[in-house]
């Protein structure tokens, strides 16, 4: 039963395939009749080709209705191939003639675009070269000027800061130009392609113009499409090269830091208080009557002068009976108060003098 089922299945498949071949052959005979009436087909074929095709079509149609209906699938396929071989070459000429103007125009546009890209990039390379020459000249002039300039004196010379190493300004980076986007070597390949394709197209156009419409073409649309794509890919790569450049900010990458004024360290400030030439935080000014005044910004009084004045004031007050002299403040007594005590006494004497006045 399995063998019989498989045999029936094979027979059905063979019958179906034979019927498909018969339908294809019959349909193609009708197609040939339509082609023989088309102006485009007539223009692309010779009279002998059309006559031979018409004869084959009638013979195939008569054969189908006479004994071809019972023919095998292989016989039907052979008849179909014979007719298609006669039509295929004529249809190829017809399709080429119809599509050639559009494909030719596309190739000419690709050539023009490639030419414009080459001209634009050539101009850009020339401008970059001029800009770099101008930059180099400006840089050389700037360097020569900086070497002849006299260095300015540092008004903070002599002062030391404990944090001077941290406050030192970073070195200023040398000003440079961005690398050029294009160089002359980038134009070698597109220029060669442009020249070669232009020459090829000129030669093929001359050959095609010599041929009749019924002859097989030498300027094929597939070649025109391939040449146009080759040019387009090349100048697109050139344009994409400029878009792939990393973004560069117009701002300088490094800023020169202004030197900060050096600050006197706390240790040296404390040490300078004992010197006779250092200013005190608050100094004494003298009024018109010779009375000392505290808090002056421009007056200076050393520790020895301040002690002498206080001793004199205490002596005068004691002589006048206004106030008993305090221990350690008699003239000539070798008692030197500490720094904090001296500040407190100065403030006290200031308040007392103010009240008395």
Q: Does domain 2-97 correspond to CATH entry 1.20.1270.10?
A: yes
DSSP helix/strand/coil, 175: coil
Q: What is the pLDDT of residue 193?
A: 93
Overall pTM surpassing 0.85 (yes/no): no
Least confident of 184-188, 251-255, 319-323: 251-255
Q: What is the pLDDT of residue 210?
A: 92
Q: What are the extents of the domains in the chain?
A: 2-97, 280-356
Query: Measured between alpha carbons, how far is 91 from 253 in angstroms, rounded to an integer?
Result: 67
Q: pLDDT digits over 187-196, tens only?
A: 899 999 999 9
Residue 182 predicted with pLDDT over 80 = yes
Contacts 24+ apart (CB under 8 A), 318-327: none
Which of 311, 289, 285 shows the shortest CA–CA distance to 300? Answer: 285
What average pLDDT does this structure show over 14-18? Answer: 84
Which tops the pLDDT comparison, 251 or 132? Answer: 132
Instruction: Count CA atoms closer than 13 A to 306's CA, side-chain side.
Output: 25
User: What band does 104 get if pLDDT is binned at 50, 70 and 90?
Assistant: very high
Residue 109 predicted with pLDDT over 90 = yes
Provide the token pair at 239.
């344009």
Q: What share of the chain is helix, strand, coil (3-state, %, to 5)?
A: 65, 5, 30
Q: State how far Cα 342 lies from the chain centre.
A: 70
Provide the token pair at 41.
């087909």
User: What band does 280 get if pLDDT is binned at 50, 70 and 90?
Assistant: very low
Provide the token pair at 21.
């071949």
Query: Measured between alpha carbons, how far is 329 from 182 in angstroms, rounded to an integer?
Result: 89
String of b and e for 167-196 (b: at least 16 CB within 10 Å)?
A: eeeeeeeeeeeeeebbeeebbeebeebbee
């Amino acid at each position: 039963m399995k063998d019989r089922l498989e045999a029936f299945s094979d027979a059905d498949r063979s019958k179906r395939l034979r019927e498909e071949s018969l339908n294809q052959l019959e349909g193609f005979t009708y197609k040939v009749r339509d082609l023989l009436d088309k102006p485009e087909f007539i223009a692309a074929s010779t009279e002998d080709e059309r006559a031979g095709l018409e004869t084959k079509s009638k013979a195939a149609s008569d054969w189908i209705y006479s004994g071809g209906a019972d023919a095998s699938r292989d016989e039907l396929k052979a008849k179909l191939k014979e007719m298609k071989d006669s039509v295929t070459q004529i249809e190829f000429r017809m399709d080429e003639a119809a599509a050639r103007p559009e494909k030719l125009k596309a190739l000419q546009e690709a050539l023009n675009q490639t030419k414009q890209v080459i001209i634009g990039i050539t101009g850009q390379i020339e401008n970059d070269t001029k800009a770099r020459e101008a930059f180099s000249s400006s840089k050389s002039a700037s360097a020569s000027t900086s070497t002849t300039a006299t260095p300015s004196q540092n008004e903070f010379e002599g002062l030391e800061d404990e944090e001077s190493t941290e406050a030192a300004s970073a070195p200023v980076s040398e000003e440079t130009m961005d690398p050029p986007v294009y160089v002359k070597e980038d134009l070698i390949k597109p220029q060669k392609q442009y020249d070669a394709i232009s020459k090829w197209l000129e030669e093929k156009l001359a050959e095609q113009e010599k041929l009749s419409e019924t002859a097989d073409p030498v300027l094929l649309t597939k070649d025109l499409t391939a040449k146009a794509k080759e040019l387009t890919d090349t100048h697109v790569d050139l344009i994409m090269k400029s878009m792939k450049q990393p973004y560069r900010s117009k701002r300088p990458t490094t800023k020169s830091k202004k030197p900060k004024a050096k600050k006197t360290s706390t240790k040296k400030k404390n040490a300078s208080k004992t010197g006779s030439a250092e200013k005190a935080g608050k100094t004494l000014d003298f009024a018109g009557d010779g009375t000392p005044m505290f808090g002056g910004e421009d007056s200076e009084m050393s520790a020895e002068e301040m002690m002498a004045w206080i001793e004199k004031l205490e002596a005068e007050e004691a002589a006048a009976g206004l106030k008993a002299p305090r221990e350690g403040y008699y003239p000539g007594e070798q008692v030197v108060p500490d720094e904090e005590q001296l500040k407190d006494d100065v403030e006290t004497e200031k308040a007392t003098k103010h009240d008395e006045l």
